[in-house]
Amino acid sequence: MMVTVKKPGGSLTVVVPETVAREMGLIEGAKLHVTASAASIVLRKQSRRPRRPLSRIVAQIKPASYRQRTRELSEDAPVGREIW
């Protein structure tokens, strides 16, 4: 399938035909990974964000900030007619 490179502003654009976009599940604003060599340009649909292990997420928790937040929550008192 042949497409035309266009220059609407300072960048070059390639219009993806609707049939190809539908087949790949592309929507406006979708992210594509671009790789290029001397003779080709490859566009790949961005895969979903890789999952991080729970151990890495927990390692990023700062105990000092957690203690501060817990203190703030424990110091709250009812303001109106809330049931606590």
Say how many C-beta atoms besides its own lie within 10 A of residue 53's C-beta. Answer: 8
Residue 36, strand partner residues: 41
Q: Which CATH class is domain 5-45?
A: mainly beta
pLDDT band at 7 (very low <50, low <70, confident <90, very high): very high
Is residue 12 within 8 A of residue 25, CB to CB? The reply is: no
Please give the structure tokens belonging to residue 51: 């999952």
pLDDT digit string, tens, across residues 28-82: 888 888 899 999 999 888 777 778 899 998 888 877 766 666 555 666 666 777 7
pTM recorded for the entire structure: 0.47
